[in-house]
Structure 1
Amino acid sequence: MSRKLDEHLTDAADSVDLSFVIPMYNEADIAREAVERAVKVGKNWGRSFEVLAVDDGSTDATPRILAELRATTPEFRWVQLRPNCGQPASSKAGMIAARGAMVCVLDADMQTPPEVVAQLVAALEQAGPEIAAVFGVTSTRKRDDPTRLLVGQAVFYFLETRFGRHPIPHGASSFFVMRQDVARRLGHLTFTKGNVGAIMAALGLDMDTVTYVKPKSYRDDSRLGLKGHVEEAVGSLALTGVLTRFGVTGGALAALAGVRSRSRWFRVAATAAAVASLGSVAAAELFNRRSLQVATTDLPIFEGEAAVAEQV
């Protein structure tokens, strides 16, 4: 039987200054390079660190590669989620399992370059204790980014800036360094939609940013896909209060239009629109409440070596 991770073992004498967390799912083509690159950055940094990979139930050779790296790289360890739980869950698992006083989450496709992490760490250490995390945000966008992504990001930040009640620093998404207590707090929440910046904003946590030039992705398309990006954006807009404000405003305008209209059918349509708008408000607020709850069940996090042994 495989051994489930004992969270208490991640706290004590083996703690380090920084944890690089890399969620992975079927990353056999890039897993080795991603880990070795993070280890190199950690060694050049000159302080204690670990690189922690979270395998999200991969079905390819990723677990075997991670086991080989573990055998040859003392700064590296890995855990596994079983069954596949999705990208938000694997990021949260890494936040829970990390031993670092500071925690950084990286993308396996290297769009979040580990070489920038030292700048994020320096900014967090120089900031006051009220700053919970520092996010890396891109100073420029590559021309090969999909047009739908660029347009979607522009619309998202316009809506969030104009209508959000919990502001997110522009560009703050999933590349960050945060304090360990904050990472553990987020890791135990139930959210499955919305980016980390939106979660922190909804919790009232203060953030700062550092700009960097975004490199070309290892892959042509994001594993998240269009559907995943839309779900993340909608979840983030709900968490920051944008959808609630739109629903309240839309419901009020529909009700007002119905009251002023002399047409019976228009009044019926306006009433239906007002009810639908208020329903969307209730749904958004329920989503927010559930997303920010502490999970009542633990994530299925297993020690990597035990997971491989069971599969052999």
Structure 2
Amino acid sequence: MLSVVVPMYDEAEVLPLFVERLRPVLDGLEDGYELLAVDDGSKDATPVLLQAARRTWPQLRVLRLRANAGHQAAISAGLAAARGDWVVTLDADLQDPPEVIPEMLAAARAEGVDVVYGVRTDRSTDTVFKRRSAHLFYATMRVMGATGAPDNAGDYRLMSRATVDAVNALPEDHRVLRLVVPALGFPAATVGYAREERAAGTSKYPLAKMIRLSLDSITGFSSAPLRLATWFGLGGFLLAVGLLLYALVAKLVGHTVAGWTSTVVIVAAVGAVQLLCLGILGEYVGRVYSTLQRRPTYYVAHDSLTGASDTGSVAVSASASRTPTAAAGGGRGHTPDP
């Protein structure tokens, strides 16, 4: 009935605590479940601890990737392999409490929705910078019309089988699932919770990865930056015409003044706008180039359920995503945490 997809990368310190908190929650459900731990190429003792936990937890299934593919890619690998009628995505750091899962299931069934978002109603454990940057991220995406997701809704969500199949069928690279899922427009509800501090270990998402995620989010879901470049170009053209008229009038009335300051400022301003526009265009061209290469986002080394290994494909059909063969491949993405 339920699959819980958990991406993991070097989470040996927090893994025992995570198992200790999650298992009673899942065992207390009336429905059957599987815990699908996606080992994203961990270099510490995470694989060993997962195999040890499997000896006493038969519902634990381990999907190991050959190399680190990123948070979003690991989640996508788990979605492609998950077999449940409902699928929850959850990080292993315990900042998002697993005790909310029964509430999500209850909300989905009571309201008849396909998606239930976990919304952080209390982020006091996060730093001021993280809270402000998260607010700026969601505000920017709303202005660009790129998301219908609730504020402070990260990658902690419950999805129906229809939603998961729809996500698996998408062909795009560099998925940002917190934007992909709302973009489907399926009926949704929210469940609030207080965000906790990381139980152990350190964050695997530094500022550079957060910036990369933000760029993927903007260029993957909105053409507004391209329109911005167009408006910059139009504004620069109008400014140039105005300066030309001013120069001609000054020449005719004999008030021309030789000076280099205004020339330097104008040249520098125009150059800056040109470089900005080229950078925006470069981001979009880079996405097109990456898509045309059709390189797999991740490689599956082993699936403890089937014993199979395969290459993660660029697109997974909705009908194939529930089969054992498809469970070994297909998918996308690893995320920061605005």
TM-score, normalisation: structure 1: 0.78
Deviation at 1:180, TM superposition (A): 2.5
What amino acid sits opposite 1:154 in the alignment?
A: H
Give the drift of 1:19: 0.7
Q: Give the letter for the 1:251 counterpart.
A: G
Aligned pair in 2 of structure 1 residues 221, 69: CA closer, same or farther (>3 Å)? closer
Does residue 1:163 correspond to 2:144, yes or no? yes
Cα offsets for 1:124-164 (capped at 9, x unmatched): 33445xx542211111111x422221221122122222333
Pairwise CA distance, 1:243: 3.2
Match of 2:239 in 1: 257
- Match of residue 226, structure 1, among 200, 204, 207: 207
Alignment CA distance shift 1:252-1:165 (3 Å): farther
**1:226 aligned partner, one-letter code:** L
Greater shift, 41-50 or 152-161, is seen at 152-161
What fraction of aligned residue pairs are identical, expressed as a percent? 29
Which residue identity does 2:181 align to in structure 1?
Answer: M
Where relative contact order (Cα < 8 A, 6+ residues apart) is larger, the structure is 2
For residues 82-138 of structure 1, give each alpha carbon's deviation from its aligned partner in whole angstroms, at most 9, with x where no partner exists.
02222222111111111111111111101121111122222333445xx54221111
SS of 1:72's partner is coil
| 2:299 is the alignment partner of 1:300 | yes
Which structure's CA Rg is the greater one? 2
Contact 1:52 1:76 in 2 (8 A): yes
Which deviations, in whole Å up to 9, do the C-alpha atoms of 1:166-205 show, x marking residues without a partner?
43321222111112243244346453363x2222345555
SS of 1:218's partner is coil
CA offsets per residue over residues 201-237 of structure 1, 9 Å max, x none? 4555554422111112224752111111121122222
Query: Structure 1 residues 94 and 294, CA, compared in 2 at 3 Å: closer, same or farther?
Result: farther
1:288–1:182: structure 2 CA closer, same or farther, 3 Å change rule? Answer: farther
Q: Per the alignment, do residues 36 and 20 of structure 1 end up closer, same or farther by CA in structure 2, a change over 3 Å counting?
A: farther
Distance 1:292 1:46, change over 3 A: farther
Given that 2:121 and 2:152 are in contact with CA atoms closer than 8 Å, whether structure 1 keeps it comes out as no
In the alignment, what sits opposite 1:46? Answer: 30
Q: CA RMSD in A?
A: 3.2
State whether residues 14 and 201 of structure 2, in contact with CA within 8 Å, keep that contact through their aligned partners in structure 1: no
For this pair of structures, how many residues does the alignment match? 287
Of 94, 116, 122, which residue of structure 1 is paired with 2:78? 94
CA 289–72 in structure 1, closer or farther in 2 if over 3 Å, else same:
same
| Residue matched to 1:140 | 122
Q: Residue type of the partner of 2:134? A: Q
Tell whether the 8 Å contact from 2:172 to 2:291 is kept in structure 1 after alignment.
Answer: yes
- Report what 1:106 is aligned to: 90
Aligned partner of residue 175 in structure 1, secondary structure: strand
- Separation in 2, partners of 1:183, 1:280: 34
Are the aligned partners of 2:13 and 2:201 in contact in 1 as well (CA < 8 Å)? no
